Structure 1
């Protein structure tokens, strides 16, 4: 694990405010609620901070606060807008009423279950589509980069291959589209926090979980209690911002400094997605070596998923309208799908574990297209 620079985790809100006013002029702060050893923290936050410090010769030097030590998870966007941090990591699903567009697009990954593609398509849309950009800007922050977890699979206590196998199973679903798909195929949804999945498997109160493969070997370490992984490719999670910038901080930078932040974001985001992808693959290989069976879904289960996704992802448009207040969801989706197609094409022939190649694709086709003299400057 890379060393982390943190301040005392027990700082009170008033102490943080006082500290922020004292050091803001000398050092910048980045707030994340993720753990210090999380891939996003290691690569996209601490790793990025190190890249930026080196590239700017110390002119921009971020102190990375982890685990919600500076700002709690649900308040990160607002706290960054208020200047408690210059950069924040925020998950859109934590504040659905504030970010209707981001939440309306959160299930589009079920149509295209590809972590690299959905991460960059989402980020591209939020930086270049007026409605996407304003989803964040009206909340007082500037969208500066994206991320995605690996795709989700069914990790189970016993083999699941067919639609008949999964019906009636007690499955921990993370909500959203995953929960709606579970209802479609007849599973019994179980509400279990991620920290309790291992115990639920051990006790037999849960038969499966929809989770990304890294949960097999880290966090819940489910390969110790799971017997199979059904390789049905479901959506990754990507509805959030890796770098939400405080506007005062952003506007106070030179064009050269803003360009440097974007350049280093391209590399850090590439490293993050590569690290995630490698860890997911390694987890599956380790689980298989430990006796966990990797199962390809049969035609009945795959068709159930494909039909559900093609048929509107379980009423995704109606939810966007009734829950998120999107007047014309289909128009929003129609504007978003070309971004997905763009990044599918860009990644079609790229070695996804080649850092230089992935960085080049992200830099040239996302960040280099942004005018740093005008972006976020209104």
Structure 2
């Protein structure tokens, strides 16, 4: 009996030491995002954290800080300076720092010029195309991230952006003179082309601006009405216009020093777990559109279709803006080969429209991103 007890005690000590060693080797990473707790992006972040913990057998533990460690406007510098280890970067907030990435992200209104196969799958297709293109065909994008002490590990995108207003806005006449909160230069140009006035501000400020009449409408995807609390002030939603998606999210940017301190296996795990959020965000956003529309109606709001003239003028604008956006980024931000980048990006986007046609779950979308893109990134050399 004494011998058995001694054996059990020895085994317990060994197990305890092993657990202690594993615990000692575990590392906590701080993930900052500007979305509030309980938002779709916060939920996606929690799934990313769980996936990374599982993939590394508990060696890497991510603590998500929704709207607490850094807000949207602080994320770029905060991630660069090591306040956060991982960050939810909205690149259009920083046009001078990420001009090539923003050129690609802000060309999303070209989705309006594509065939009907893309409808309802805009975000899923664009995320795949943008992630693949940045990893493989945009060294300028990589240089921009490197200059900000960051490593790119994938993009994310929303469902289409629509007019969310405090009054009916269904035609060009009703748009004239309205102040619209926008989140990119392409939507600013669209607003001006329609006789409206674009206003740039952080998403975190949009609710108060709408409540106080500083802006008349917020151009944003439908799920953001609940994610950002905008549904408290939105009474009228107009679908289809201006269209395009917010694709300027570098979803889980990693501080370069942190990235280089990881083992090859841990970097590989971050890439694998890094497919979770790029898949979660667009898939869930598309799925939630109908629910948000019903909620708007339940609260006494109205949902409109644009008149035919406004919709056609918007489509014409989107086609023309592919030329304008090249000139804008060249003149404003010194992008030299914008036309070449967009010409190369279009077939990649068309390929991804085809690839996402049979996707019916976010898990399948994550697997698709992994097989087609992330698994091909060499974790031994990438970002080093």
TM (norm. structure 2) is 0.80
Q: Partners of 1:229 and 1:65 in 2: how far apart?
A: 33
Residue of structure 1 aligned with 2:217, choices 194, 208, 211: 208
Q: Secondary structure at the match of 1:349?
A: coil
Structure number with the higher helix fraction is: 2
Q: Deviations over 1:3-44 (max 9, x none)?
A: xxxxxxxxxxxxxxxxxxxx997523233141233322221x
* Structure 2: distance between partners of 1:218 and 1:72: 14
Question: Which of 110, 129, 143 does residue 121 from structure 1 map onto?
Answer: 129
Structure 1 residue 132: deviation in Å? 2.4
Give the Cα–Cα distance (whole angstroms) in 2 for the partners of residues 30 and 68 of structure 1.
11
**Residue 140 and residue 202 in structure 1: after superposition, are their counterparts in 2 closer, same or farther (change >3 A)?**
closer
Gaps of 5+ in 1: 1-22
Contact 1:104 1:324 in 2 (8 A): no
Q: CA deviation at 1:172?
A: 3.5
Please identify, of 220-229 and 239-248, the stretch whose mean Cα deviation from structure 2 is larger.
220-229
- Give the structure 2 partner of residue 16 of structure 1: none
Change in CA separation of 1:202 and 1:27 when aligned onto 2, cut-off 3 Å: closer
Q: CA deviation at 1:261?
A: 1.9
* Residues 1:326 and 2:325 are matched in the alignment: no
The corresponding residue for 2:365 is: 358
Residues 166 and 233, structure 2, Cα contact 8 Å, conserved in 1 = no
Per the alignment, residue 343 of structure 1 pairs with 352
- Cα–Cα, structure 1 residues 226 and 24, in superposed 2: closer, same or farther, change >3 Å? farther
Work out whether residues 158 and 281 of structure 2, in 8 Å CA contact, stay in contact via their aligned partners in 1. Answer: no
Which entry has the higher C-alpha Rg, 1 or 2? 2
RMSD: 3.0
The structure-2 alpha-carbon separation of the partners of 1:111 and 1:316, relative to structure 1 and needing over 3 Å to count, comes to same
Q: Which residue is equivalent to 2:64?
A: 64
How far apart in 2 are the matches of 1:86 and 1:205?
A: 35
Which ranges in structure 2 are unaligned for 5 or more consecutive residues? 1-22, 113-121
State TM-score, norm by structure 1.
0.81
Cα distance, 1:191 vs. partner?
6.0
Alignment of 1:286-297 (within 5 A): 286-297=295-306
What pairs up with 1:58-97 in 2 under 5 angstroms?
58-69=58-69, 73-74=72-73, 76-97=75-96
User: How many residue pairs align between the two structures?
Assistant: 351
Q: 1:64 to 1:221 in 2, by over 3 A?
A: closer
Q: Secondary structure at the match of 1:350?
A: coil
Alignment pair present for 1:219 and 2:219? no
Structure 2 CA distance for partners of 1:73 and 1:289, relative to 1, 3 Å? closer
